[in-house]
Amino acid sequence: MTSVEDWIKNEGIVIIRQIGIKNGQKILDFGCGSGVYAVLASKILKNTGKIYALDSDEEGLLGELIDKIKRYKIKNIEIIKTSGEISIPLNDEFVDVVLIYDIYHLLDELEREMLIRESYRVLRKGGFVSYHATHIGGEYNIKLEKIHAKMKENGLQLKEKLEKPMFHWAWIENSLIFNYFKKS
């Protein structure tokens, strides 16, 4: 079993590229937590893109990201601390990618719908929502068919499905990632 440290150092960045993260993009990491994905993406973007790392900090993880930004002198991550509202303080058609990684299950039905709508609004045409499918079928009532349908209803077309080892909470777990695109 790969350790989290090894995954972050080696496979993580390769997988993030395979998911579609590229130099120059603007990325919203909704519910970024300690910023494992934001920091990996920041290495790919270098100085030509930006990550908007949004979190309400209800799990107290944001401090870890702030420490990493200071320690590694990261210039391309901007933290957006919210009070948990699902209205994204970014302009329409502003970002290339929205990451919804291990947060969807924490939202209620109305919030889930709002997050998909808000993601569509802030995405540029041709941009995509990348969803890391955690907690499927469990106590949180997450059903993939329902998510695909909700994305479609809101203008986001499922185009890519990847099966990869991903960071989840404190371990590495074989996961599904779905990319839903906004029509160009």
Ligand X SMILES: C[S@@+](CC[C@H](N)C(=O)[O-])C[C@H]1O[C@@H](n2cnc3c(N)ncnc32)[C@H](O)[C@@H]1O
Residue 80 CB, shortest distance to ligand X, in Å, is 9
Residue 72 CB, shortest distance to ligand X, in Å, is 17
Nearest-angstrom CA–CA distance, 22 and 26: 9
- Interhelix angle 109-122/144-153, rounded to 10 degrees, is 50
Cβ nearer to ligand X, comparing 55 with 96: 55
**103 lies in the site for ligand X, by CB under 6 A:** yes
Residue type, 64: E
Cβ nearer to ligand X, comparing 25 with 175: 175
Return the number of other C-beta atoms located less than 10 Å from residue 119's C-beta: 27
Binding map of ligand X across residues 66-85, x = CB under 6 A, - = no contact: ----------------x-x-
Window 43 to 62, contacts with ligand X (CB under 6 A): 54-59, 61
Binding map of ligand X across residues 22-41, x = CB under 6 A, - = no contact: ---------xxx--xx----
Q: Which residues contact 5 (CB under 8 A, 6 or more apart)?
A: none
Residue type, 39: V
- H or E element in which residue 18 lies: helix 11-19
User: Is 177 in a helix, a strand, or coil?
Assistant: strand
Residue nearest to ligand X (CB): 33
The residues binding ligand X (CB under 6 A) are 31-33, 36-37, 54-59, 61, 82, 84, 101-103, 106, 167, 169
